[in-house]
A and B are shown apart, each in its own frame.
Chain A
Amino acid sequence: MIFNPKHILGIRDLTAEELTFILDTAESFKEINTRQIKKVPTLRGRTIINLFFEASTRTRTSFEIAGKRLSADTVNISASSSSVVKGETLEDTAKNIEAMHPDIIVMRHSASGACEYLARRLKCSVVNAGDGMHEHPSQALLDAFTIRQFKGRIDGLTVAIVGDITHSRVVRSNIYCLNKLGAKVRIAGPRTMLPPGIERLGCEVFNNLEDAIRDVDCVMMLRIQRERQGASLIPSTREYSRFFGLNEAKLRLAKPDAIVMHPGPINRGVELSTVVADGPQNVILGQVENGVAVRMALLYLVAGGEQLKND
């Protein structure tokens, strides 16, 4: 198949065929991660810059390992150690980086739309690693990949996503992705964390966890972002945990073979009880493992046929 996108800015821009093609490609790359020599020369000579304006361990490491296993040269820039703290604008930072001729910039930024802003101004490919409250495409793709791995399909499944829906880019990307691949999406969270009109993206809205997870195939729990807005939207984490935390008893409402997912990092005892977080239905570390393969596929597909791509 011809994969045209030069940038990966959001799931919204991708077709169901393109999403499936990314997942199928990731399937082939997954095998490399279990070899003794975990490296192929596919992106030899390409330079990938991980430009992270927000703290990240999992996503940044995952993109870095993905690039390295494809033999690309990867460079990490984080906001705290860069010229951003000296007052440089995003565009100036990006233009300076571009002058060093990278092939792909993987960016995370706190402003929604920051990746698209760069993609319009730079010649290299831009991959969104999370922008504000907008999208986190690689997370949604690794979630879809993990669901497909454990359930054998995505089409026809029901997935519940629970937590701070308003501030979650993971939710938005997942709603687009799961809908395009034929799954039904339910969302649930406290009123203060449910944006009005979200159902227009294609999901069913619930005010309580119990109704939302009844008979679902997959429960995706979101992290309460204590360091951000999250804390002021709920009376206390204890109360949140009582109503919207997932424990063993509540999980029994879902299908017996339902899987439990979490984008990490987990607040144990808040959104997930330790018993569920470590229980047989959790696939959380599988998500992390699959993240590398999915990001290898994304880097490969934006770099492949680059001389033929004109946006």
Chain B
Amino acid sequence: MTAEKVEILDNDGISRALTRIAHEILERNKGTENLVLVGIRTGGGYLAAQLQKKLSEIEGVVVPLGTIDITMYRDDLGTRNDLEVGQTDIRFPLGERNVVLVDDVLFTGRTIRAAMDALIDLGRPSNIQLAILIDRGHRELPIRPDYIGRNLPTARNELIEVEFDQQHAPQAVYLLRQ
């Protein structure tokens, strides 16, 4: 079998999607008061940093940014091969904040479930919103994103790859077919 690689979004496409998401976040939250961004390691963390930049370009405010590692909250400990655990880095209190959780690809929803459990162990946010670059469907849990870069119906055996450069800036999104 040969893998087929199709470009879904290029650099500019990603940038436009993130700009739109940043505007939607500001509209829904009526500005940046109490707003914080938390990216899911690693891709989500990189995208959250991009969103932080976009928000400051629009509003002139640098909103707090953190990253969360969900390994300790996963539900597949016994059957998983890769045991690497990353570090959670959130240096601000989450209580009474509007948290925008950021990830690159939304698939089964299990990662988001784990991330929400991890967030709630760190404090009690007023609410948690979900921003996603690519929603590829196939949800296994009742989870719905609030901000979507691109809806992309996929087959289960396809893969979505978000490519980042050395500086962690997103470069392109690819769909891989086996």
Known contacts A28-B69, A37-B121; is A42 also within 8 Å of B83 by CB?
no
Would B79 and A27 count as touching, CB distance under 8 A?
no
Per-position binary interface string of chain A over residues 40-55, scored 1 when its CB falls under 8 Å from any chain B CB and 0 otherwise: 1111000000000000
Q: How far is the CA of A212 from the CA of B48 in the complex (A)?
A: 52
Listed stretches B53-61, B85-93, B127-135, B153-161; interface member: B85-93
Per-position binary interface string of chain B over residues 79-114, scored 1 when its CB falls under 8 Å from any chain A CB and 0 otherwise: 111111111100000000000000000000000000
Give the size range of B's interface with the partner: 20 to 34
Per-position binary interface string of chain A over residues 130-154, scored 1 when its CB falls under 8 Å from any chain B CB and 0 otherwise: 0000000000000000000000000
Q: How far is the CA of A42 from the CA of B75 in the complex (A)?
A: 8
Would B72 and A301 count as touching, CB distance under 8 A?
no
Contacting residues, chain A, for B152 (C-beta < 8 A): none
Partner of B73, one of A41, A303, A304: A41
Closest to A2 in B: B81
Contacting residues, chain B, for A43 (C-beta < 8 A): 77
Would B81 and A308 count as touching, CB distance under 8 A?
yes
Chain A's nearest CB lies how many Å from the CB of B78?
5
Count residues of chain A with CB under 8 A from any CB of chain B: 27
Partner of B87, one of A1, A27, A303: A27
Interface residue? B143 (CB, 8 A):
no
Would A304 and B83 count as touching, CB distance under 8 A?
yes
Interface residue? B122 (CB, 8 A):
yes
Contacting residues, chain A, for B88 (C-beta < 8 A): 28, 31
Q: List the interface of chain A (C-beta within 8 A of B).
A: 1-3, 21, 24-25, 27-29, 31-32, 35, 37, 39-43, 70, 300-301, 303-308
Contacts A28-B69, A41-B117, A42-B77 supplied; 8 other A-B pairs, CB < 8 Å: A3-B83, A25-B83, A25-B84, A25-B85, A29-B85, A35-B122, A300-B83, A301-B83
